[in-house]
Amino acid sequence: MSGGRLRVWRWLVQGSRTTFCGAVVIGASLGSVGLAQDKNPNADAKSEKEMKPYKDTIPGTEVSFELVPIPGGEFLIGSPDSEPKRKPDEGPQVKVKIEPFWMGKYEVTWNEYDIWSFNLDIQRRKVLNLQPSPLDPKADAVTRPTKPYTDMTFGMGHDGYPAICMTQHAAMTYCQWLSEKTGHYYRLPTEAEWEYACRAGTKTAYFFGDDPAKLDEYAWHFGNSDEKYHPIGKKKPNPWGLFDIHGNVSELCLDQYDEHRYETIKKQGMGASPLLAVTKLYPTVARGGSWDDDPEELRSAVRIASTPDWKIQDPQIPKSIWYFTDALQVGFRIVRPLRVPNEAERKQLGLEPAKDFKLRD
């Protein structure tokens, strides 16, 4: 057992806190949404003006994560023709509208992700002989991944480091579990939401300007990372309080990748949804660049397309739906929209883990 896993196990058996509350389970999907146990006043908002930064704790654990409010608005997605190192799929620039949401202040860490992926919440209840909370049955019913074939940190660090090597399906299923577990609706960001939040109102190549020489202050990239990821939150945040939005690990989004997507949105007009729902396994979108990328790959407008090469070393036949064994540079962060979509919207837009198309390579 690695050092990180051992520390998680000690937390599992030593802790004794848990939270209980009365609740009515509703709906056939994400029935716990709206039934949050923490009753954190900062997490409650009925309008954009009421949105505040808040910390959410995964019930029955001592593991927490923080979110910051992202105001709604309009912006030009993509990059101008004049931007150095610009790629064709970054244009044409087109104006899109974004609804308000909260976004993870940091990338999701192993400390958070392992609770779901290794059933640590369920194990802890068994070890300490704790009764499940009213929300636990729904959370426990969410699918968990198969065991990884190796230590997925690859020796780069565990506690406080970003989780990596998960597929989009795995990240979406984690969000589904977290929604049931906390009573708040969490999901992956769309790539439009991601770029909007990254830019934080700026129009430059990076949120801090156009000069990549300043990147070391804000991001881990190939030139300063010592060829590995780093603990979250060690660099300066963007104007909206997001850490590591450039670099450290690239961040999975909800969208199917289409190099001509912005052309389509421009033809459809402002009323078009910028989200392209996923209908096939590859390629999907990641954003932000990583510790393994050169500075130009960390620009706000850069789009990253997943490929089967991210699973080359996967020994399973067929290959796992849970792990990108070769994507040591890929992780994710979560969002929570102010307006929670209903079940029909979630299915139409592909906001939940897909079950009706070929997931295996």
Residue 171, domain member (yes or no) = yes
Residues 6+ apart with CB under 8 A from 249: 107, 162, 164, 229, 288, 290, 291, 329, 330, 331
Contact in structure between 68 and 241 (CB atoms under 8 Å): yes
Residue 25, domain member (yes or no) = no
Q: What integer pLDDT is reported at residue 106 of this predicted model?
A: 98
Longest Cα separation, the chain: 62
- Identify which of 178, 194, 183 has the alpha carbon closest to the alpha carbon of residue 77: 194
Residue 176, domain member (yes or no) = yes
Q: What integer pLDDT is reported at residue 318 of this predicted model?
A: 86
Q: What integer pLDDT is reported at residue 348 of this predicted model?
A: 85
* pLDDT tens digits, 232-252: 999 999 999 999 999 999 999
Contact in structure between 93 and 77 (CB atoms under 8 Å): yes
b vs e for 138-171, b when ≥16 Cβ sit within 10 Å of the residue's Cβ? Answer: bbbebebbeebeeebbeebbbeebbbbbbbbbbb
Count of structural domains, the chain? 1
How much is the pTM? 0.90
The span from the CA of 299 to the CA of 297, in Å, is: 6
Residue 243, domain member (yes or no) = yes
Q: How far is CA 109 from CA 45, 114, 225, 283, in A?
A: 26, 9, 18, 24
The span from the CA of 311 to the CA of 326, in Å, is: 5
CATH of the domain at 81: 3.90.1580.10
Residue 40, domain member (yes or no) = no
Domain span holding position 73: 52-349
Residue 37, domain member (yes or no) = no
Residue 15, domain member (yes or no) = no
Residue 314, domain member (yes or no) = yes
Mean pLDDT by 10 residues, the chain (361 residues): 41 35 32 62 94 95 96 97 98 96 98 97 94 95 94 97 98 97 97 98 98 98 98 98 98 98 90 86 97 98 97 89 96 97 87 71 70
Find tokens 């004049």 and name the residue.
Answer: 82
Q: What integer pLDDT is reported at residue 231 of this predicted model?
A: 98
